[in-house]
Amino acid sequence: MVYRIIYTERYTRIAVRFLQRHPEMARAYEKTLALLELNPHHPTLRLHALSGRLTGVHSVSINLSYRITLHLLISEQEIVPINVGDHDAVY
């Protein structure tokens, strides 16, 4: 089952700033997004639901330090990224 990533203008601005600050993460970031489209439940992504004020939001890992938070709409096979950054920035 292939998912479709829906990029909002807000997320695109956040992602551009993230990649400007961390150009060394560009390849890992792109790899994470590609894998997310193919299989968001792949173990290396470490997909998990968040709780508290972020209930309804999921998180995937780019690496040990950086995350992408997103809305995962399984019934519609859509993924809407919300934020990208280090653990403290996205949570």
pLDDT digits over 43-56, tens only? 999 999 999 999 99
Average pLDDT in the chain: 93
Q: pTM for this structure?
A: 0.90
- Which value, to the nearest 10 degrees, does the dihedral of the CA atoms of residues 63, 64, 66, 67 take? 80
pLDDT of residue 43: 96
Question: Distance between CA atoms of 46 and 75, rounded to whole angstroms?
Answer: 20
Report residue 74's pLDDT band, with 50, 70 and 90 as the boundaries. confident
Domains of the chain: 4-90 (3.30.2310.20)
Residues near 38 by beta carbon (within 8 Å), at least 6 away in sequence = 2, 3
pLDDT of residue 6: 94
DSSP 8-state secondary structure symbol assigned to residue 8? -
pLDDT of residue 23: 97
